[in-house]
């Protein structure tokens, strides 16, 4: 499909960014949810950053990646890495064959996130977990940008030009429950205060209070949202 080719070209251009991928917060959730020796599928695995972090714990690491160069790099880490799109009709993953399925910063790039999540979740076994992360369009900086009447077309971040869909905490919860996932948990990744406050010494002293405030108002201070659900 022309749309898939265009998206593949976009991801290929960002392959160097993907090479540094390895979100620590996503890895923490994955370590908590993946049983020792368990089977992990990372949808949108980039060059295998998360696979590498989970290598000591997992018994089988699989990945799906649209960028050929990134998929080739991930294949040096994972046990089974497929170069393709989540929408491809023929993908070699069996239903119910993974203990954990991760979709980190994937769903916002899809024209139909609900269908994409439902398909990926079906690869997870009963009782297994699905972890999703998406940017939070209700983050305070995004709100301020929109208040100024701007909608940027950036290379990355909330207003990445490749994003087709946008999410808040409520819409992410609805997406997860709509995919028939149970025991849904939502978390937010709050950027360090040093990204917003100078001098650095002041930001460091205020960081614990800043993170505590983020836990109280995650929809406002969370730059990225993380959702976890269990397969019934």
pLDDT in tens, 72-97: 999 999 999 999 999 999 999 999 99
Residue 22 has pLDDT above 80, yes or no: no
Task: Supply angle C-alpha 62, 68, 86, rounded to 5.
Answer: 55
Classify burial at 183, counting beta carbons within 10 Å of its beta carbon; exposed 0-12, middle 13-18, buried 19 or more: exposed
Residue 203 CA to residue 205 CA, distance in Å, equals: 6
DSSP H helices in 60-126 = 68-74, 113-122
Residue 18 has pLDDT above 50, yes or no: no
The values of phi and psi at residue 133, to 5°, are: -130, 140
Look up residue 29 and give its two tokens. Answer: 């959730």
How many other CB atoms sit within 10 Å of the CB of residue 73?
21
Residue 214 CA to residue 189 CA, distance in Å, equals: 8
Residue 57 CA to residue 64 CA, distance in Å, equals: 19
What is residue 13's three-state secondary structure? helix
pLDDT in tens, 158-199: 877 888 899 999 999 999 999 999 999 999 988 888 877 777
Which sequence spans correspond to the domains of the chain?
2-230
Residue 118 CA to residue 179 CA, distance in Å, equals: 5
Question: pTM, whole model, 2 decimals?
Answer: 0.87
| CATH no., domain 2-230 | 3.40.50.150
Inter-CA distances, 93 with 29, 36, 180, Å = 22, 21, 19
Inter-CA distances, 174 with 45, 100, 182, 223, 225, Å = 24, 20, 11, 19, 13
């Amino acid at each position: 499909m022309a749309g898939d080719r265009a998206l593949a070209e976009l991801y290929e251009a960002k392959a160097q960014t993907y090479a540094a991928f390895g979100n620590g917060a996503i890895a923490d959730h994955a370590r908590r949810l993946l049983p020792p020796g368990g089977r992990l599928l990372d949808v949108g695995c980039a060059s295998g950053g998360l696979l590498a972090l989970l290598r000591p714990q997992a018994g089988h690491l699989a990945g799906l990646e649209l960028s050929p160069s990134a998929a080739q790099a991930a294949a040096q880490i994972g046990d089974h890495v497929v170069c393709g799109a989540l929408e491809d009709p023929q993908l070699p993953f069996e239903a119910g064959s993974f203990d954990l399925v991760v979709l980190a910063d994937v769903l916002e790039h899809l024209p139909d996130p609900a269908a994409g999540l439902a398909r990926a979740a079906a690869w997870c076994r009963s009782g297994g977990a699905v972890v999703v992360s998406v940017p939070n369009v209700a983050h305070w900086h995004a709100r301020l940008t929109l208040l100024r009447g701007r909608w940027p077309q950036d290379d990355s971040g909330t207003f990445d030009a490749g994003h087709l869909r946008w999410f808040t905490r409520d819409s992410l919860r609805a997406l997860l429950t709509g995919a028939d996932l149970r025991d849904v948990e939502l978390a937010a990744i709050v950027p360090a205060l040093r990204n917003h406050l100078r001098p650095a010494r002041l930001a460091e002293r205020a960081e614990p209070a800043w993170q505590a405030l983020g836990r109280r108002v995650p929809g406002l201070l969370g730059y990225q949202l993380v959702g976890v659900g269990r397969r019934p």
